[in-house]
Amino acid sequence: MNENLFRLDGKVALVTGASYGIGFAIATAMAEAGATIVFNDIKQELVDKGIAAYAEQGIKAHGYVCDVTDEDAVNALVAKIEAEVGVIDILVNNAGIIKRIPMVEMSAKDFRQVIDVDLNAPFIVSKAVIPAMIKKGGGKIINICSMMSELGRETVSAYAAAKGGLKMLTRNIASEYGQYNIQCNGIGPGYIATPQTAPLQEPQPDGSKHPFDQFILAKTPANRWGDPADLGGPAVFLASPASDFVNGHILYVDGGILAYIGKQP
Ligand code: NAP
Ligand code: GCO
């Protein structure tokens, strides 16, 4: 096998919201495959922490403050990256939020905010990088989707609507820009241990497992939560020449959740 198929040498990768968590793990794997890493976060403090965390791994990452929901700020960020680092070859739309609120209790403002970060922002950032990718002759866009791109559950209506929409945005970018050698695919992580899911894993006051924690283990054939590092290999694959004819696909990295009815009681 030609190992260069999976190398990202000479490529510039922008991973949004990647100071920690899944974005950080994906960016780290891409750096190990040879890519130059650029990331953003909303606060300077987080960007500084991120740069230090990458440095600890021996990675010289370029960090910028930018709210991905702000179109002008995103356009300015992309221009700055092009001037200071180079044209973005790989975009990972990773930044995301969740609000766990029963639907009838959720305000329209909260619903819109989730849609804004989880769906509108990937549109805004993708739109900002595609013209330079076309000019350069190609590029890779990876949208971080979710189990909720396929499934619903109590309290996550806005998140599920956004991640379901992101699946279709992925397919549409692939449909519209595949002719320019741009591949746009999604990764649908299962339940991954990060600050976003920490409230679902907190032990009970008596020391027993959180009921949601037990529920996830019973739903996951792998019988464990995912680790952010589990997303590294799939992300490198979708960013590399190995996936040049893979387009509009959602790669679920879920320990088997979507294949399984769940452990019988
Ligand atoms: P996380 O730990 O909450 O990290 C998300 C990152 O995005 C944070 O650094 C956050 O910054 C940043 N961010 C949020 N809003 C932003 C904005 N408007 N502009 C720029 N950055 C922003 O989440 P994660 O668990 O690593 O999740 C990463 C992605 O994977 C998300 O899209 C999430 O929906 C998705 N996902 C997660 C799981 C899971 O089980 N953890 C499963 C499936 C999909 P702040 O800290 O300042 O908010
Ligand atoms: C929740 C979770 C999920 C996960 C993830 C699953 O409350 O159900 O936070 O939505 O984070 O997106 O793939």
| Ligand 2 neighbourhood includes 190 CB (under 6 angstroms) | yes
Residue ranges of domains in the chain, CATH in brackets: 3-192+225-259 (3.40.50.720)
Per-residue pLDDT, 64: 98
Q: Decide if 191 is catalytic.
A: no
Residue with CA nearest ligand 1 atom 32:
96
Q: 184 — phi, psi (to 5°)?
A: -120, 115
Which strands make up the sheet holding 62-65, listed edge to edge? 62-65, 36-41, 12-16, 90-93, 139-144, 182-189, 250-253
Does residue 217 surpass a pLDDT of 80? yes
- Could you identify the residue written with the tokens 């696909």? 249
> What angle do the packed helices 21-32 and 44-56 form, to 10 degrees?
40
> What's the 237 CA to ligand 1 centre distance in angstroms?
21
Q: Which of 22, 117, 197 to mutate to test the pocket of ligand 1 (most atoms within 8 A of CB)?
A: 22
> What's the 156 CA to ligand 2 centre distance in angstroms?
8
Instruction: Tell me 124's DSSP state.
Output: H
Using DSSP, state whether 142 is helix, strand or coil.
Answer: strand
Give the integer Cα–Cα distance in Å for 3 and 89: 20
Q: What are 116-165's pLDDT values in tens digits?
A: 999 999 999 999 999 999 999 999 999 999 999 999 999 999 999 999 99
Q: What are 164-177's pLDDT values in tens digits?
A: 999 999 999 999 99
| Ligand 2 neighbourhood includes 99 CB (under 6 angstroms) | no
